[in-house]
Structure 1
Amino acid sequence: MSIAVESFLLNPTNTGTLQRQVQDLVTDGILGGRFRPGDRLPSSRKLATHLGISRITVTLAYTELVANDYLTSRGRSGYFVSDQAPAPVDTLPPPAGPSTVDWSRTLGGRIGTSLTISRPEAWRDYRYPFIYGQPDQRLFDHQSWRRCAMQALGRRDFDALTADAYEADDPELVAQIIRLILPRRGISARPDQVLITLGAQNALWTAAQVLLTQRRTAAMEYPCYPVLRDILTQSRCNTTELTVDNAGLRPETIPPETDVLFTTPSHHCPTSATLPLDRRRALLKRAQDDDFLIVEDDYEFELGFMTRPAPALKSLDTDGRVIYIGSFSKSLFPGLRLGYMVAAAPVIREARSLRGLVLRHPPGHIQRFAAYYLTHGYYDAQVQRTARAFRARREVLDESLARNGLEPAGRNGFGGSSVWMRTPDGVSADDLAARLRARSVLIEPGAAFFRPGDARGQNHYRLGYSSIDSTAIPTGTALIAEELARLQR
């Protein structure tokens, strides 16, 4: 690779000779890892013209660098970084000096800092990864996705991939969501009632920004999705936590001063509880009586392999109070970062304007890839394949938990891809997770789903089965039981 001449810039405050400065520019680039063995340097004439110095100065600097094995000369081809050049130094330069900026005052501390769910970067190297939300490449139809990508990259779709759509979405993807996805949840919508987002998390943030102010109150389930807690904290609204039971949210606990309720009725995060139909109707009645809006995060509804999914709140909504959020993260893969919001047209108009200020629109090529994947029926096949695999894994997991005397803390008769668990009294889920890592078992401690300081966070953990093979589940579960027994003793 040729090194651009613009990579070199003399420092006017440097007191060294020009030849020394040129040498330092090259050696700094090599030791900093920016210039690599085999990279071609600018010609002495070109670099001299760029820096405004004499050519002989550059030539002498290059000659000295060749003598010190930083560079090598290849006849008329020019100068290249030598294969014998010193390896890059993995250190940062010293700070310029103490900063005089008061960052606590300047930044304002608006971004949430609650606990997050972490996993090792090399989690795939663990033999028993009971982690949530990560894709299993054995279940994904790579060939069909590649076929759709190649189709979308063709000349026919050039404008959809390359044009600045301003605030608009890909009409093909919106049409497929309206025709194929929403009817499964009993939802009908027009194009002006749908907004494409960068996943469900982006949709939740957008809803919070559009619907909440410092004078409004948001209610959320407890325990809850950690990112939602941070989003609401960032919005500076008033918040209320509503403790869930084995059937999810209790409508009678919603305060009358609530302006917006955030809920996961089909598959509560993290307990996996499903809100019964009578509670759904009672919830909508409360929303109408007390005049508040509902943001429904309907994640994992596609993975209802144990029972038929309950109707979405949005499908039962008669006056447009529900803002519905869906995502392709669990049905396809989280790296796609593609979701959608369905709401009354005035809400979508405001959300679209906000999105236009922040990111214009999601990348056109990603939207068109997904549109073709839906159009050709590959999405349906992918969902069915995933649901079958998850059902088989869940059956093995349930049987293994029972055999080892481990009982789930949450009642989940719907499906999904995880089970909510509780440790015995006096046993920390963090300690359990640390011990299990040493035995190549990964679990997710539950503290992130609770507010800091809540002791219940230390007694819960989540077992995901989206990425672990059925054959590994029995042994992994037995190891969990062994470590729990040791911690109790």
Structure 2
Amino acid sequence: MAIPVEAFFLTPDGEGTLQQQVRGMVMQGILSNLFPAGARLPSSRKLAEHLGTSRITVTLAYTDLVASDYLVSRGRSGYFVSESAPRKPEFQLPATSVATATDWSRAIGSRFSGSEIVTRPRNWRDYPYPFIYGQADARLFDHHNWRACALRALSPREFEATTLDQYDQDDPKLVDVVQRHILPRRGIRARPEQILITMGAQNALWMAAEILLTQRRVAVHENPCYPEQRKILERTRCTTVALDVDEGGLDPETLPDRVDVVFTTASHQCPTNVTMPVDRRRRLIELAARRGFVIVEDDYEFEIPDTAAPAPSLKAMDRGGAVVHVGSFSKSLFPGLRLGYLVADEAFIREARSLRALILRHPPGHIQRTAAYFLGLGHYDSQLNRMARAYRRRRAEMDAALRAHGLLHGPDHARGGSSFWIDAGEGVDTSALARNLLADGVVTEPGSVFFSDRPAGRRFFRLGYSSIDSGKIPEGIRRIAARLEQSGCTRP
């Protein structure tokens, strides 16, 4: 059987290079059983003329398909569909799906859905003024060197490091880079046995809560705080205490008499972005040593530029081993990377390693090795410098616009980070405000989800600037101010 040349056509919106599109058409025809085994493909010359492309493009596509065992070459006879090419499974599905008889309302023992989360439109990039927090700006990322590091990690020399099941172990190259290159920035000295690679900061926080908390223990968290942090603590069924933060973050003097674990974001408090002063850090560590509680330090956005020199991390100031340090590359590289780390005494890391192995063994080897090269070869430092320049411009632009419209008053206690925390004033429901602003092309994040008492947070909202061009900031802020004026709110 000869496959007619008319079976192939290019579409204007086809993805990839012409060679990739030709390859994809042949593969799809084989996988869908449209091209049977032994069928002869059109000659490279004839197909190239039909598609209006070069003959070498088709030849290279055919050659690649031979290497992948989709096609076989028979000298001057041409190219044929391989007898061992992958095939679509041949089985019959029922005409209509059978309704399940399972009563899932009774079968489900634990429920995880339904809780409030930070919401944003899935197509937020389509809006002209996306004040979205925590998303990457493709213009600031070093695509070329990340790709080069990924290819190096995929080389034959790295095959075992990136493909073998390492059970509960991490990539030693990445651990080494974190130990020698990342932690010293925070004043932390640690041995490899005190470091564990995680699937981001949230995964690290979950492991810390699972290891340290029981139903009989007391956990303190900040208010407002990272919403998922509060949900993680609730799942342990421990007693939780929410402490209000001020312009210095968590105040150690407000800790309850009984506490087993304190969760804090001292570098940049989430979501207010305020930084805990050094004297409070010392006091918190002193109380931990005296009273015997553990501090879980989420080193939230430490790498995002401050207007002042960064304060040492709690872990760097800790001499008694009471601090469990959580770090992440989500903001400095990109959130989809899902890569972070834990630093703590060996006794804690030993338990965390076993817990991680039980759930997911270890983060993907290829991702770890790629990150190790990117960090170790100096690309990470260049990335941070590029982000710092852009973020400083955006922060200054947003600060000026917010003040011009009366949305920011007095000193800015949040010296850095990648967002502003705004108090819209009495009587404002920022959830309704966010919905109305979508009609103006503006995306914001309402603040109630960050509070233990949801109504108390209705007047607050967060404006991120990691993904919006600085030139669009003034107009976006103007539109926010106009909507607030329409609501007749009382400014704080």
Shorter-chain TM-score tier? 0.7 to 0.9
d(CA) in 2 for partners of 1:443 and 1:410?
Answer: 23
Partner of 2:468: 468
Residue-by-residue CA offset, 1:375-402 (whole Å, 9 max, x unaligned): 1100011011101100000000001111
2:348 corresponds to which letter in structure 1? V
1:326 corresponds to which letter in structure 2? G
Partner of 1:346: 347
Asked whether the equivalents of residues 220 and 240 of structure 2 are also in contact (C-alpha less than 8 Å), the reply is yes
Displacement, 1:414?
2.6
Residue-by-residue CA offset, 1:71-115 (whole Å, 9 max, x unaligned): xxxxx99xxxxxxxxxxxxxx966625534553xx4334537431
Q: 2:420 matched to 1:426?
A: no
Partner of 1:480: 480
Displacement, 1:256?
2.5
Relative to the length of structure 2, the TM-score reads 0.79
Structure 1 residues 265-414: aligned runs within 5 Å: 265-407=266-408, 411-414=412-415
1:388 corresponds to which letter in structure 2? R
Partner of 1:99: 102
Asked whether the equivalents of residues 443 and 461 of structure 1 are also in contact (C-alpha less than 8 Å), the reply is yes
d(CA) in 2 for partners of 1:112 and 1:237?
Answer: 20
Residue-by-residue CA offset, 1:352-377 (whole Å, 9 max, x unaligned): 00111110110000000000001110
Displacement, 1:426?
1.0
d(CA) in 1 for partners of 2:410 and 2:419?
Answer: 12
Asked whether the equivalents of residues 423 and 460 of structure 2 are also in contact (C-alpha less than 8 Å), the reply is yes
Partner of 2:33: 40
Q: 1:432 to 1:409 in 2, by over 3 A?
A: farther
**Secondary structure at 1:301 match in 2:** coil
Q: 1:400 to 1:208 in 2, by over 3 A?
A: same
Asked whether the equivalents of residues 123 and 129 of structure 1 are also in contact (C-alpha less than 8 Å), the reply is yes
Partner of 1:149: 150
Displacement, 1:430?
1.0
Partner of 2:457: 457
Runs of 5+ in structure 1 lacking a partner? 1-35, 45-75, 78-91
Asked whether the equivalents of residues 272 and 411 of structure 1 are also in contact (C-alpha less than 8 Å), the reply is no
Relative to the length of structure 1, the TM-score reads 0.80
Q: 1:418 to 1:100 in 2, by over 3 A?
A: closer
Q: 2:125 matched to 1:132?
A: no
Asked whether the equivalents of residues 112 and 231 of structure 1 are also in contact (C-alpha less than 8 Å), the reply is no
Partner of 2:53: none
Structure 1 residues 77-88: aligned runs within 5 Å: none
Aligned pairs, number: 408
Partner of 1:56: none
1:284 corresponds to which letter in structure 2? I
d(CA) in 1 for partners of 2:189 and 2:259?
Answer: 27
Displacement, 1:193?
0.1
Displacement, 1:409?
9.7
Asked whether the equivalents of residues 194 and 344 of structure 2 are also in contact (C-alpha less than 8 Å), the reply is yes
Q: 1:350 to 1:409 in 2, by over 3 A?
A: farther
**Secondary structure at 1:326 match in 2:** strand
Q: 1:313 to 1:97 in 2, by over 3 A?
A: closer
Displacement, 1:163?
1.1
Residue-by-residue CA offset, 1:170-227 (whole Å, 9 max, x unaligned): 0000000011100010000000000000000000001111111111111100111000
1:235 corresponds to which letter in structure 2? T
1:441 corresponds to which letter in structure 2? V
Residue-by-residue CA offset, 1:235-271 (whole Å, 9 max, x unaligned): 1111111111111101011112111110000100011
Residue-by-residue CA offset, 1:126-182 (whole Å, 9 max, x unaligned): 100001000000000100101111111111111111111110000000000011100
Q: 1:315 to 1:113 in 2, by over 3 A?
A: farther
**Secondary structure at 1:379 match in 2:** helix
Displacement, 1:118?
1.4
Asked whether the equivalents of residues 299 and 313 of structure 2 are also in contact (C-alpha less than 8 Å), the reply is yes
Q: What is the percentage of aligned positions where both structures have the same residue?
A: 53
Runs of 5+ in structure 2 lacking a partner? 1-27, 38-79, 82-94
Partner of 2:11: none
Aligned-residue RMSD, C-alpha: 2.3
d(CA) in 2 for partners of 1:435 and 1:278?
Answer: 43
Displacement, 1:413?
4.1
Partner of 1:250: 251
Asked whether the equivalents of residues 115 and 447 of structure 1 are also in contact (C-alpha less than 8 Å), the reply is no
Partner of 2:7: none
Displacement, 1:408?
6.2
Q: 1:112 to 1:125 in 2, by over 3 A?
A: closer
**Secondary structure at 2:120 match in 1:** coil
